[in-house]
Amino acid sequence: MVLQDKYAPNTNSAFEHYQAEHRLSIADTSAYWGEKAVTELDWFQGFDSVQQGGFLHGDVAWFVNGKLNTCYNCLDRWIEGRGDQTAILWEGDEPTDTKAITYRECLRKVCQISNALKAQGVKKGDCVTIYMPMMPEVSMVMLACARIGAYHSVIFAGFSADAIADRIEASGSKWVVTADEGLRGGKKLPLKAICDQAMAKDACRGVVEKCFVFARTSKTVNMETGRDVEFDSLVAAQRPYCPCEPMDSEDTLFILYTSGSTGKPKGVLHTVGGYSLYAKVTMKNSFDLKEDGSDVYACVADAGWITGHTYIVYGPLLNGTTTFMFESTPMYPDHGRYWDMVERHKINIFYTAPTAIRSLMRFGDDAPNKYDLSSLRILGTVGEPINPEAWRWYYEVIGRSNCAVADTYWQTETGGHVIANLPGAVPMKPGSCTLPCYGIDTVVLDPATGKELEGNCVEGVLAIKQPWPGMTRTCLGDHERYLTVYMKPYPGYYFPGDGCRRDEDGYIWITGRVDDVLNVSGHRIGTAEVESALVAHPAVSQAAVIGFPHEIKGEGIACYCTLTVGVEESDSLSKELKTAVRTAIGPFATPDLIIPTASLPMTRSGKIMRRVLRKIAAGESDQLGDVSTLADPTVVQVLIDKVEALQ
Ligand code: PRX
């Protein structure tokens, strides 16, 4: 293969090395990962076998009977040698509010938090819900859970009380850690009050025993006697030493709820050994980390999503690197904030999402040009396909045509990157996540037959052919759903739910979800969740939610709602319906378009023709295709007119 591209590295040998190493890594995944496990992680007890089980039965296990602790590998391991190096470099909402926490300091505080949790009754195997702002303590609580063998369930602080209650109920979590308030873009978010609402719901009654409250703004909040605990003083009173619980490699490290195409969000479960190894190795490879830990690495995601778990907390600390944590937004106090931070903290590696790049690009080049961005070496992108225009702006204006852009494709379930270009080794193509990571055996399948499509220039669905350590092992409490969603669609393969194209050079281009999952600003939202929030409103009898192309968010949310007989359309009703979705899920899921309608385009057998709805919302009503099977074709024109009037 000869790649003639201006984004190719100067030498071909690095690329050839990648190709050879990748071939080896998938020829014998056990040999590859077995060796990595020994060299990259510290074990209390070695493992008996590298890998057992497979996709077919959904019983994959890695590093069987090995014992280790993830927190040990993140912190204790680095004390000798890097104890005084900054582990967490934090910048708060105000640019002047910064903190540098060394590995030694971080370990002390994590031990204190561990002891405080234990003193309150948290035990190995318990689930701890974390609903916190981006303060350093959020990482520390995650690490403390890992240390004592509890597993965390972090809920992004933009989720509503309803969403929290659902997740607490599903996980049976007795423990909640939160803060009085969050602070973002100069605005205060009443996190404890939202937790209070969640804990008061029927779903949570009798479930939560204790709610630990950190002070972020020191606002006086409601504290329920017997349940709520002021955590800062309790933590400060603890000894700064706490032994690490030896965990089985296959014990649970955390669960993270994510949206699927049907029903309630699923608790994607990750394990101690496999996830830790995968987080460490992909972090090191995709961002070409310096072995001595001297990089200043910034991922500006939120800890509440998988990107935050793997690439703010675990990946960087497992590698002994300095991880930057950011509490605010890219627009506060102005849209130069990211670049100002790069200059002030001399950030070397910067990782964000296409939606952020697009929203900053709109303001032009003046803001980035004001700052010294010469410390940057690698720019990462994640969350959705990046459009070539945004890619080029990132590469040219932010990276000054001098940095590698790492387009990292992965998902909550994969634990870490599965397709990404190795900076400096794999030639880049704007918009393609390029080639699989080591140990990842990707194929393109024909969606209809499930057969592997050989050769290049093919399009189908993406699948992975062999287990890898970072893959999710189950959905908490619902293994059947796990099998149905990931393992059964194409037996013998893991199915991530994305379509893709393999181009003439063998490069992968993700074409987006092939199920009913939306990707809005890099956030995954199930259409079924939005629909159920809408039909819970008395004015709506039926709802069909679809995504449509959105310039900044990637995808916008359009909700077609059939109103209950007698209910009139109005702006205030549309507003109410938007609020209903915000209340059920969270503000990030707010619909862009509410389209009230008397009826929806249905086939004669009663199925909603979503394809037609998608085309209408996308403004492509001239490409509706065959609508002859519709029970009543006249509804189509009515909807076209309505959407045109709204846009
Ligand atoms: O559709 C893919 C898209 O985001 C989905 C995973 O979402 P989530 O589990 O929330 O994790 C987001 C952060 C990893 C995938 O199924 N996706 C993620 N990264 C990319 C992407 N699509 C194209 N290119 C990417 N780099």
Would residue 548 be called left, alpha or beta, if left means φ above 0 and alpha means ψ between -120 and 50 degrees?
Answer: beta
- Tell me, what's the pLDDT at 252? 98
**The token pair that represents 7 in the structure block:** 């984004």
pLDDT in tens, 341-387: 999 999 999 999 999 999 999 999 999 999 999 999 999 999 999 99
In contact, 57 and 238? CB cutoff 8 Å: no
Q: Cα dist. 317→154, 269, 283, 293, 320 in Å?
A: 18, 21, 10, 9, 5
> What is the per-residue pLDDT for 5?
59
Report d(CA 398, CA 367) in Å as an integer: 10
Q: Please tell me the distance between residue 637's alpha carbon and the centre of ligand 1 in angstroms.
A: 34
With H, G, I as helix, E, B as strand and everything else as coil, classify residue 365. Answer: coil
Sheet holding 540-550, edge to edge: 540-550, 554-563, 593-597
> What Å distances lie between residue 611 and 485, 590, 602, CA to CA?
22, 22, 11
pLDDT above 90: residue 485: yes
**Can you tell me the distance from the alpha carbon of 294 to that of 281, in angstroms, rounded to the nearest whole number?**
17
User: Which of 261, 387, 410 best tests ligand 1's pocket when mutated (most atoms within 8 Å of CB)?
Assistant: 410
Confidence of residue 607 (pLDDT cuts 50, 70, 90): confident
Spatial contact of 515 and 499, defined as CB atoms under 8 Å apart = no
pLDDT digits (tens, 9 = 90+) for 570-591: 999 999 999 999 999 999 999 9
Q: Tell me the per-residue pLDDT of 81-136, one tens digit each, with 9 for 90 and over.
A: 999 999 999 999 999 999 999 999 999 999 999 999 999 999 999 999 999 999 99
**Number of neighbouring beta carbons within 10 Å of residue 10:** 7
Question: Residue 95 and residue 85: Cα distance in Å, rounded?
Answer: 22
> What is the C-alpha to C-alpha distance for residues 67 and 65, in angstroms, rounded to an integer?
6
* Distance (Å, whole) CA 167 – CA 199: 11
Q: How far apart are CA 352 and CA 383, in angstroms?
A: 9
pLDDT tens track for 504-516 = 999 999 999 999 9
The helix/strand/coil state of 539 is coil
Number of Cβ within 10 Å of residue 509's Cβ equals 17
Cβ 585 vs Cβ 163: under 8 Å = yes
* Model pLDDT, residue 216: 98
Distance separating alpha carbons of residues 632 and 599, to the nearest angstrom = 9
Calculate how far, in angstroms, residue 410's C-alpha sits from the geometric centre of ligand 1: 5
Residue 555 CA to ligand 1 centre (angstroms) = 13
Please name the amino acid found at residue 363: F
Q: What is the pLDDT of residues 244-290, one digit of tens each?
A: 999 999 999 999 999 988 778 999 999 999 999 999 999 999 999 99
* Ligand 1 binding pocket mutation candidate from 510, 555, 585 (most atoms within 8 A of CB): 510
Pocket test for ligand 1, best of 411, 428, 461, 494 (most atoms within 8 A of CB): 411
For atom 13 of ligand 1, which residue has the closest CA?
Answer: 383
Q: Is the complex ipTM higher than 0.85? A: yes
The CA distance from 593 to 291, in Å, is 49
pLDDT score recorded for residue 11: 65
Q: Which amino acid is at 144?
A: A
Q: Whose alpha carbon is nearest atom 16 of ligand 1? A: 411
Residue type at 608?
A: I
The beta-strand segments (E) located in 478-553 are: 498-502, 508-513, 517-520, 523-526, 540-550
pLDDT digit string (tens) for 382-434?
999 999 999 999 999 999 999 999 999 999 999 999 999 999 999 999 999 99
pLDDT on residue 104: 98
Query: How far, in Å, from the CA of 353 to the mean position of ligand 1?
Result: 10
Nearest CA to ligand 1 atom 10: 524
The arrangement of strands across the sheet holding 322-326 comes to: 98-102, 86-91, 322-326, 296-299, 349-352, 378-382, 404-408
Ligand 1 binding pocket (C-beta < 6 A) is 258, 306-307, 382-385, 407-412, 433, 496-498, 510, 513, 519, 524
pLDDT score recorded for residue 6: 63
Name which of 186, 418, 204 is nearest 310 in CA terms: 418
Distance 312 CA to ligand 1 centre (A): 17
Q: Is the pLDDT of residue 314 over 90?
A: yes
Confidence class for position 626, pLDDT limits 50, 70, 90? confident
pLDDT tens column, 521-560:
999 999 999 999 999 999 999 999 999 999 999 999 999 9
Q: What is the DSSP string of 265-334?
A: -EEEEEEHHHHHHHHHHHHHHHTT--TTS--EEEE-S-TTSHHHIIIIIIHHHHTT-EEEEE-S-TTSSS
- Cα separation, 642 vs 26, in Å, equals 52
> Which residue's alpha carbon is nearest to atom 15 within ligand 1?
411
Alpha carbon distance 304, 191 (integer Å): 14
Lookup: tokens for 363: 């303001």
Query: Helix (H, G, I), strand (E, B), or coil: what is residue 395?
Result: helix
Q: Whose CA is nearest to atom 6 of ligand 1?
A: 411
Ligand 1: which atom is nearest the Cα of residue 513? 1
Residue 264 has a pLDDT of 86
Contact 389, 397 (CB under 8 A): no
> Which residue has its alpha carbon closest to ligand 1 atom 5?
411
pLDDT of residue 2: 45
Query: Ligand 1: distance of its center to the CA of 411 in Å?
Result: 5
Task: Assign 23 to helix, strand or coil.
Answer: helix
Q: Residue 209 and residue 440: Cα distance in Å, rounded?
A: 42
Q: What residue has token string 């904030």?
A: 337
Matching residue, tokens 């496999």: 274
Report, in angstroms and rounded to the nearest whole number, the Rg of the chain calculated over CA atoms.
Answer: 24
Tell me if 445 sits within 8 A of 453, measured CB to CB: yes
pLDDT bracket for residue 4 (50, 70, 90): very low
Q: What would the mean pLDDT of 161-177 be, rounded to a whole number?
A: 97
Ligand 1 nearest-atom number relative to CA 512? 1
DSSP 386: P
Pick the residue whose CA is nearest to atom 7 on ligand 1. Answer: 411
Distance from the CA of 382 to the center of ligand 1, in angstroms? Answer: 7
Give me the pLDDT at residue 10, please.
57
Which one of 305, 500, 519, 521 would you pick to mutate in the ligand 1 pocket, going by the greatest count of ligand atoms within 8 A of its CB?
A: 519
Q: Are 70 and 314 in contact (CB under 8 A)?
A: yes
Q: Which residues of 624-640 are buried (b: 16+ CB within 10 A; e: fewer)?
A: beeeeebeeeebbeebb
Buried b / exposed e across 361-394, counting CB within 10 Å, b at 16+? beeeeebbeebebebbbbbbbbbbbbbeebbbbb
Asked whether 403 and 379 are in contact (CB, 8 A), the reply is yes
| Cα of 510 from ligand 1 centre, angstroms | 9
State yes or no: pLDDT of 1 exceeds 60.
no
Average pLDDT, the chain: 96
Four-CA torsion 196, 254, 348, 333, nearest 10 degrees: -10
The whole-angstrom separation of Cα 525 and Cα 353 is: 16
- The protein residue with its alpha carbon nearest to ligand 1, atom 21, reads 384
Measure the CA–CA gap between 258 and 208, rounded to whole angstroms. Answer: 21
Both tokens of 97, joined, read 């509010």
